[in-house]
Chains A and B, each alone.
Chain A
Amino acid sequence: MRVLVTVKEDEMVDDEFEIDGLGISEQYVSYELNEWDDYAVEEAVQLSEAAEDDEVEVVTATIGPERSEETIRQALAKGADRAVRVWDDDLADADVLDPTMKAQLLAGAVEEVEPDLVLTGVQGGDDAFGATGVALAETVDYQWAAVVNDLDLDEAAGVASVHRELEGGVEELTDVDLPAVLSIQTGINEPRYASLRGIRQAQSKPLDVYTPDELDIDLADLGSKLTLTSIAEPESESNTTLFEGDAGEQAEQLGDLLEDEGVVEG
């Protein structure tokens, strides 16, 4: 069996930052393995570890520039077997890669890798579309389930029994036919830290780079349908009364407030 995990580099912004045109000034930006994808990678690696005789191959797929290979190596260090990266410099011109466009590019990777199961994250930490996984399933004609926080795979029956985490502490129990795309929710497992050995091994694991063209995708047909026109820091709706002073003075004022509110006794 083969499991494809989509892995995105999450653009993280410092608490203090400046906006430059339609982006964040570079010096305030760092890149990390997307939190949700970390759980997806862990889930795939655990499936592979639970299987006998290396029967499960874990492949990652990323749409991203060369920079993203650092993130990809993190996933490899945590136990993925090999990686696929899709990129074309023309993609760098788009300020938003919309989910349907990403789904089409990732579909190229799915056709190349032919997985039985695809795990994505529920959402990217930066764009937070929450849509790429299900759009991908529809594009490649796989079954799917979104916001999965428990997975039990019956490979022989070709069924994934999942829990979908709904609102308000309710979970939906669903059986999904394979092949399927599941979008993985945080908390489903405990993502491991990469070991030193893992990090070393990751350097020599295969990482194949494809242009869309090589995956039979014509970028001219794609084009992001979402165009960024402006970005801004949201106007603060804050009416907060701030307690000033050093930590001791701040804590004292907070203590007084709690007494006034009647929730603690002075």
Chain B
Amino acid sequence: MSDVLTVAEHRQGELRPVSHELVTAGRELADANGGELHVAVISGDVDAYAEAVNRTGVDAIHTVEHGEEFNHDVYSQAVEQLYADLDPQYLVMPHTVNGLDYAPAVATSLDLPLATDVIDFSHNGSLSVTRETYGGKVEADIKVTGDRAAVTLRPTEWEQATEAGDAVVEAFDAAIDEEAIGSTVTGFEEVAGGDVDIGEAEFIVSIGRGIEEEENLDMVWDLADALGATLASSRPIVDNGWLPQNRQVGQSGKVVTPDVYVAIGISGAVQHLAGMSSADTIVAVNEDPDAPIFDVADYGIVGDLFEVVPELTAQFE
């Protein structure tokens, strides 16, 4: 009962990188207890995924062939049956959109404590996890009651396991109850391309909720024009319909890699950072000196964007 079971993630034929992060974290957790690390690979081309996830640190890989793409009922049933078979102590899943769709169901069904979006953990006889609350303003340490638990891990917090491993790969014969499958994936859609591809831009000015009103956006268009930069934004601007979806930077929008990214009135939520933290130079303009965006910014202005933006525009007009 000291083992760890993690669940690999794939989509449209590709193993997703978070799977290799789960291997690193799962290994850490298994080592803390002298246990083994098991990885479940469910649906799609399981043999190819098993090979891709077979990295140093993995002791055994269990494949469940059933359907092509992610279906939460198939995942839940497969994971629950693997759990019954392997009797692991910890179940480690990704805090991804698909993770959000099955991990809480699995934990509920198995009556396991569930800690989500975990960024760190420690193990001294019992499990403690670290999570962020209040939009990253606070870090909370949480002790998990009992000796078993399910956790979901925030992507990109752990390094990816990179070295080829030699874990045994075994087909697991899960009895999937088709009757219990209450949802059907009918297809995928990509967000429309639109007028610009911010993914290609070398110089981005990006605006966030600090702009407050749609009318104020003119000020930022003027800035982008004066600088010759491409205008992008955080999610709330797109949610409000002030800019089209193809301008959204972040986890559910675009990943951008410009030479310079100027984030104005953007707090730097993890889902936003996922889209821009690999820009070469990051500049933040924010009135809150503790905003998480300053953790990734190379340069910054702590101040009121309504004062700074017109001054900057004036310089280049």
Contacts and interface: CB of A to CB of B under 8 A. Distances in A.
Interface in B95-112: 95-98, 100-105, 107-109
Contacts of A233: 137-139, 290
Interface stretch (A57-65, A76-84, A134-142, A196-204): A134-142
A103 B107 CA distance: 12
A230 B240 CA distance: 36
Nearest to B135: A125
Interface residues of B, number: 96
B4 to A, nearest CB: 19
Interface in B223-269: 227-229, 235-236, 238-241, 245, 251-255, 259-260, 262
B84 interface: no
B35 interface: no
Contact of B132 (A100, A173, A186, A234): A234
Interface stretch (B22-30, B53-61, B163-171, B295-303): B295-303
B140 A228 contact: yes
B9 to A, nearest CB: 10
A127 B105 CA distance: 19
A128 B183 contact: no
B114 A254 contact: no
Nearest to B192: A169
What is the interface of chain A mostly: helix, strand, loop, or mixed? mixed
B301 A145 contact: no
A103 B108 contact: yes
Contact of A135 (B114, B141, B302, B303): B114
A68 interface: no
A225 B104 contact: no
Interface string A85-106: 0000000000010111001000
B105 A226 contact: no
Given A100-B113, A238-B294, A263 B308 contact: no
Nearest to A142: B182
A200 to B, nearest CB: 27
Most buried by A among B128, B134, B143: B134
B189 A226 contact: no
A157 interface: no
B238 A187 contact: yes
A169 B95 CA distance: 17
Contacts of A15: 287-288, 290-291
Contact of B191 (A146, A171, A227): A171
A130 to B, nearest CB: 5
Interface stretch (A47-55, A109-117, A241-249): A241-249
B240 to A, nearest CB: 7
A139 B294 CA distance: 41
A144 B72 contact: yes
Interface stretch (A1-9, A175-183, A208-216): A175-183
Interface residues of A, number: 85
A145 B70 CA distance: 12
Given A229-B141, A264-B227, A147 B97 contact: yes
Most-contacted residue by chain B among A11, A131, A187, A262 (CB, 10 A): A131
Contacts of A175: 183-184, 186
A73 interface: no
Given A130-B116, A173-B188, A138 B104 contact: yes
A234 B104 contact: no
Contact of A100 (B97, B114, B184): B114
Contact of A169 (B97, B117, B254): B254
Given A15-B287, A166-B11, A229-B142, A135 B133 contact: no
Given A24-B138, A169-B190, A226-B115, A240 B260 contact: no
Interface of B: 11-12, 69-70, 72, 95-98, 100-105, 107-109, 113-117, 128, 131-146, 182-191, 202-203, 227-229, 235-236, 238-241, 245, 251-255, 259-260, 262, 281, 283-285, 287-288, 290-292, 294-295, 297-304, 307-308, 311-312, 314-316
6 contacts: A13-B137, A15-B288, A147-B97, A169-B253, A239-B298, A263-B203
Interface of A: 11-13, 15, 17, 19, 24, 96, 98-100, 103, 122, 125-135, 137-139, 143-147, 161, 163-177, 180, 183, 186-187, 190, 223, 225-234, 236-243, 247-248, 250-252, 254-255, 257-258, 261-264
Counting from the closest, the 10 A-B pairs by CB-CB distance are: A225-B113, A251-B311, A143-B182, A187-B239, A247-B307, A169-B191, A134-B104, A131-B104, A146-B101, A135-B104
Given A255-B316, A263-B260, 13 more contacts: A96-B140, A131-B116, A169-B245, A173-B188, A177-B183, A229-B143, A241-B299, A247-B303, A247-B308, A250-B308, A251-B315, A264-B229, A264-B316
